[in-house]
Structure 1
Amino acid sequence: MYVTRPLSRYLDNPDAAAERPPEGPGSGFLVVEDEAAVERATVCCGLLDVGEDDIVLFVPIVGEPLSAGRYYVVKAIGHHAGMVLACSREEDKTRILFFSFVDDAPPRPFHHGDIYQQVEVVAVAQAPHCLRGFKAVAVAPDGIPPSLLRRKGWEVSKAMRTSYDGLSDDAHGIDWPLRRRMPDLDGFAIGAGGSPAAVVGKWYCPFMFIRDGERRLKDQVNRCMFYEMTLEQRWEEIYSCDNTHWGSISGKQPDDEVKVNVTVRRSTALLGGTGAVVQEGGPQVVDGVMWF
């Protein structure tokens, strides 16, 4: 789950890129081009054209600060749309006489444990204090990035795409003050049975982390590149009683202690705003994927 940060934040303060992702498993940052940065930058992290008619999505690796420069690089168009570029291994080299050639590994579906799908992007220095373009190195010790990324000096330009332009800087993770706030009991309507739901957290999740039924990765790219995830909180009434008529004719005083023994549902998963059909025992985690 990714929280958003405006691009201008890093243009004003490059050291902010060293910020660690929020607490929680699978957390990371998405950099969103805001109005303050439009006239100041020509490149941002996201959907990028890296030349050779290739449009890819650079998704920061979860659990790493942006300063690490580590990404999953996802094909956005073509036959392999929705798949992640993968590094080859030293053993994949083809040797002819005294020369060796690298056979690029084909893109493949994202897998959380595949370190060969991770690359580190670094700036290329062509002269002292003069940077021009980028190159990628493999995170895996014996990895070799695909030719598209390992050549030195490739440049990027932002590719305009409707499904990506809709992303805005409005996902900031959990709003802890709101999360911890006690309900306004006087604001409950009589007979309502609880408080209205309040959004106390919001994230974006790249499509490759979501298995949307039988939908193909290519279809997911075209339909929804980022899924919106929210955490809603509401308070439910678990006990109520009528006025006990303090000081009534009986002269008996009401008990000032109430014992309640009730089972409540602490959380519910909603997919598309409706309750998910969860298997008995709760969501099932299989090979790093949580199934509903």
Structure 2
Amino acid sequence: MYVTRPLSMFQKNPSALSWPPPEGPNSGILVIEDEEAEQYTCFGLCKSDEIKDLPFPQNKNLKLRYSSGVGENQHASYFYANLIPVLNQPLSSNRYYVIKRRGSHKGEAYQNSKEEDMGSCFCFKYVSDVTPKPLDPNDIHQP
């Protein structure tokens, strides 16, 4: 079971990130962005929609950006997800279930690749993408 805490609480008291989750099996903390935690730009005139620091709030639909390469070879990929803290872990562990928000596997959890997911081409190895699957809190490859 999850309990909710306001993001502003963790901004004011960063040591609270290492507090253990509530007592009981399969418990965790959901972080909710409150008015006090909202960020502004343009001298306070515009709300900022960027999130740069942990923990990630669970009441926000996130657009995640992955960049690779440099200069003219730079490439950015975007995907949409919700980040849910892993059960039985403090927020300071920075471990999240990544739930896909769009597409054919909407609502399913991304997974980490395993050694057996590696492919090879000549003398090179590469990591094959693993298809998202329904969330299983006992699967160590999902967070």
Same fold (TM over 0.5): yes
Which gives a bigger RCO, structure 1 or 2 (Cα 8 Å, sep 6+)?
2
- Rounded to whole Å, the distance in 1 between the matches of 2:23 and 2:92 is 17
Return the alpha-carbon distance in structure 1 between the equivalents of residues 35 and 104 of structure 2.
34
TM normalised by structure 1 equals 0.39
The structure with the largest alpha-carbon Rg is 1
- Tell me how many residue pairs correspond in the alignment: 118
Partner residue of 2:62? 48
Paired residue for 1:105? 130
SS of 1:10 mapped into structure 2: helix
2:100 is matched with which residue?
Answer: 75
Note the residue ranges of structure 2 that are not aligned, 5 or more in a row.
41-47, 66-76
Match of 2:112, as an amino acid?
A: C
Distance in 2 separating the partners of 1:35 and 1:58: 20
Q: What is the CA-CA distance between 1:45 and the residue it aligns to?
A: 2.7
Identity %: 42
1:49 shift after superposition: 0.7
RMSD of the alignment, in Å? Answer: 1.5
TM-score for both structures, normalised by structure 2:
0.77
**Maintained 8 Å contact 2:87/2:137:** no
**How far apart are 1:110 and its partner, in Å?**
1.1
Cα deviation digits, residues 153-186 of structure 1 (max 9, x gap): xxxxxxxxxxxxxxxxxxxxxxxxxxxxxxxxxx
CA distance in 2 between partners of 1:117 and 1:77 (Å): 18
**For 2:13 and 2:138, how far apart are their aligned partners in 1?**
33
Q: CA deviation at 1:27?
A: 0.8
Equivalent in the alignment of 1:38: 38
Match of 1:16 in 2: 16
1:115 is displaced (CA, Å) by: 0.7
Q: CA deviation at 1:39?
A: 2.9
Q: Deviations over 1:91-121 (max 9, x none)?
A: 2211122211111110001113211111xxx
Query: Which residue does 2:3 correspond to in 1?
Result: 3
**Per the alignment, in what secondary structure is the counterpart of residue 74 of structure 1?**
strand
Report SS of the residue matched to 2:87: coil
**One-letter amino acid matched to 2:64:** V
Which residue pairs with 1:59 in the alignment?
84
Is 1:94 matched up with 2:108? no
Does the 8 Å contact 2:86/2:96 carry over to 1? yes
Q: Cα distance, 1:20 vs. partner?
A: 0.6
